Structure 1
Amino acid sequence: MAATADHLKALLNAHASGDEDRFYSVALQVAAKSARQGHGKLAVELREIIDAARAEKIPRLAPTPVVQPRGELASLLTAGYPDVRLDDMTLADDVRAPLDKVLHEQRQRARLERFGFTPVHRILLSGPPGTGKSMTAAALAKELSLPLFTIRLDGLISRFMGETAAKLRTVFEAAAETRAVYLFDEFDALGAERTAGNDVGEARRILNSFLLFLDEAPSESLVVAATNHRHLLDRALFRRFDLVVHYAPPSPQQAIEILQRRLAGMDTTGVPWSDLITKVDQLSHAELVKAAESAAKRAILGGNDVVDQHLLTEGLDERHALRHA
């Protein structure tokens, strides 16, 4: 049986209290546990049932149009409506807990504001490439039924004096008008230390403008900044964010779980997972997903749904080779 006694009690308590979010969260945990136990088809079926139930219960928001002046925002933002949820990700406890706090406070925003408080809405995510920072922004958007607007730094940063600050203002004005998750990816391009050889000129003005706009950012929207290079960021930034979350490469056990999650729809019953511990070392979340996908596609094109140790080892070796190319 995939569900433990604790899962069953949590499901009943959530149902009795009318907490749908908690009910579906526990149900997804049961599906994930099924996948880890090798019941891939059951996990897929459970997930399909959960998604169908959510589709009926939760009204789908129409895509929020990016308002124009109206051509400029289109060159600054890309809009997406993600499908990934936090339960789809393998996250360390010290990462998942603060993200759950963000969701809880945002869902109780009106209650907090009645007492003069604002929910967490300015978040800095830092860590090595491929550890799930951008995916987290997408998951937060999905959990809150919001669009994800990713700021295009190539369109934002200009060599003309004052122009980047003006474009930043346009983005933050959009955040005040359209509730969404606004992701500044590769944020160190904007937030680099002001004394790191660029203490004068446009770089300083850009950062000062960002700090000002961030202070004034409305709590209705989430502003998420992600960086691979935390050490490059100006120290003034850290106290401006409500929450700073650091991502680390997955542990060997987490790496195995990432592979199992991605292969939940395949037959992996013959894989001796413990034998792969040495193969997953140093690979990021994104690299592990690519390795699993490579193994699955080889199996499918070979005419079956069975992923064995040999296919997985080939996929993992490919990622290591690319890393050292």
Structure 2
Amino acid sequence: MAGSGEHIKALVRSHGSGDDDAFYSVALQVAAQAARQGHHRLATDLKTAVERSRADRPGKVTSIAQPRGDLAELVVATHPAVGLRDLVLSEPLDGQVRRVLAEQRQRKNLLDHGFEPAHRLLLEGPPGTGKTMTAAVLAHELSLPLLTIRLDGLLSKFMGETATKLRTVFEAAERQRGVYFFDEFDALGGDRAGNDVGEARRILNSFLLFLESSSSASLIITATNHRTILDRALFRRFDMVLDYELPDTTQATAVMRRRLGGLASRIPWTELAADAAGLSHADLVRAAESAAKSAILTGNARVGLDDLRAALRSRHSGSCGS
């Protein structure tokens, strides 16, 4: 067929870049051309294949099952199943997360009035306090893929070409709507007083340039466990800064009860306040899981107070949240 060579090249390019929408568009162009040339069976088969492939996507989630090309080296794509109901945060923080969702859901309305929805977020706080889970929840609630970029690994693996790799990620964010989660941001955004020259300064400046020029098509989220080492000038580059803290007694109870479900009936939660104090969300989840397994292995239908207390004390003695 005339023009089929160009179509094949376009198919290869779109497949290599992971752009499924472009791939399907070219495939339908091939089908239309086949129909015009009288190859009706081929046209029908192509259209059917495209429709079935699109239908196989998980729900209405934008699919990046496996990033391809250069992007495959840089990101890990997932489709999280955790929603707002699974996220236990303080009331102010919960309100900020809901505001981000509201602005993203009303994105077109805001843009029509000349306003961009919040899409550049900095999450900061101790390990295990819900930063990664927040990114997952935003992706799930917006039916978008979560693409995670570990900045510490990016720096160590691609030193000398990190800025180029960052450009690849931000260009993907323009083409493919998603939640792009840059973890370990302190690896990149540490106080620039020590980075006045050299590669680290150039990488940071490149990241900030890409960040400022990014459109609201995707959510760009960065996370750090060490806010105090970040250059203060960085904070104004973000639309919102979300501060995470260790859970209070009420939140700690909610985290454990949610994880244990029906196994947690008749537990005097107030008696566990001292044991839960100082533990992160991640530690509390792991303690609840450990207590549940202990109960199951001993043939009990419910988790007891002693099981939970022992599990919480174990988290204090040797483990830390992540």
Check whether TM > 0.5. yes
1:47-86 aligned at under 5 Å gives the runs: 59-61=59-61, 63-65=63-65, 68=68, 70=69, 72-86=70-84
Residue in 2 that maps onto 1:171: 169
Deviation at 1:219, TM superposition (A): 0.3
For each residue in 1:136-162, what CA deviation from the matched residue of structure 2 results, as whole angstroms up to 9, or x when unmatched? Answer: 000000000001000033552157764
Q: Distance in 1 between matches of 2:267 and 2:211?
A: 48
Which amino acid in the other structure matches residue 272 of structure 1?
P
Residue in 1 that maps onto 2:142: 144
Q: Which runs of 4+ in 1 moved over 4 A?
A: 158-162
Residue in 1 that maps onto 2:256: 259
Which amino acid in the other structure matches residue 248 of structure 2?
S
Residue in 1 that maps onto 2:101: 103
Change in CA separation of 1:205 and 1:320 when aligned onto 2, cut-off 3 Å: same
1:163-242 aligned at under 5 Å gives the runs: 163-195=161-193, 197-242=194-239
Larger Rg: 2
Change in CA separation of 1:222 and 1:270 when aligned onto 2, cut-off 3 Å: same
8 Å CA contact 1:130, 1:285 repeated in 2: yes
Deviation at 1:323, TM superposition (A): 4.2
Q: Which has the bigger relative contact order, CA under 8 A and spacing at least 6? A: 1
- TM-score, structure 1 as length reference: 0.77
Which amino acid in the other structure matches residue 248 of structure 1?
E
Report which stretch shifted further, 246-255 or 300-309: 300-309
Helix, strand or coil: the match of 1:184? strand
Match of 1:133 among 124, 131, 134: 131
Deviation at 1:256, TM superposition (A): 1.2
8 Å CA contact 2:65, 2:78 repeated in 1: no
User: How many aligned positions are there?
Assistant: 263
For each residue in 1:47-89, what CA deviation from the matched residue of structure 2 results, as whole angstroms up to 9, or x when unmatched? Answer: xxxxxxxxxxx94335225554x1x211100011101112211
8 Å CA contact 1:296, 1:305 repeated in 2: no
Which amino acid in the other structure matches residue 63 of structure 1?
S
Over the aligned positions, Cα root-mean-square deviation in angstroms equals 1.8
Name whichever structure is richer in helix by fraction: 2
Sequence identity (%): 57
Deviation at 1:305, TM superposition (A): 2.6
Match of 1:272 among 264, 268, 275: 268
Q: Is there any run of 5+ residues in structure 2 with no aligned partner, and where?
A: 1-57
Which amino acid in the other structure matches residue 189 of structure 1?
A
Residue in 1 that maps onto 2:301: 305
Deviation at 1:220, TM superposition (A): 1.3
Which amino acid in the other structure matches residue 310 of structure 1?
D
Q: Distance in 2 between matches of 1:122 and 1:260?
A: 33
Helix, strand or coil: the match of 2:237? coil
Change in CA separation of 1:256 and 1:198 when aligned onto 2, cut-off 3 Å: same
For each residue in 1:239-295, what CA deviation from the matched residue of structure 2 results, as whole angstroms up to 9, or x when unmatched? Answer: 1100001001101121111111111132x2231111111111101110000000000
For each residue in 1:169-196, what CA deviation from the matched residue of structure 2 results, as whole angstroms up to 9, or x when unmatched? Answer: 001001001111011111100111110x
8 Å CA contact 2:259, 2:285 repeated in 1: yes
Match of 1:157 among 155, 158, 161: 155
Helix, strand or coil: the match of 2:147? strand
8 Å CA contact 2:150, 2:184 repeated in 1: no
Which amino acid in the other structure matches residue 98 of structure 2?
D
Q: Distance in 2 between matches of 1:145 and 1:311?
A: 38
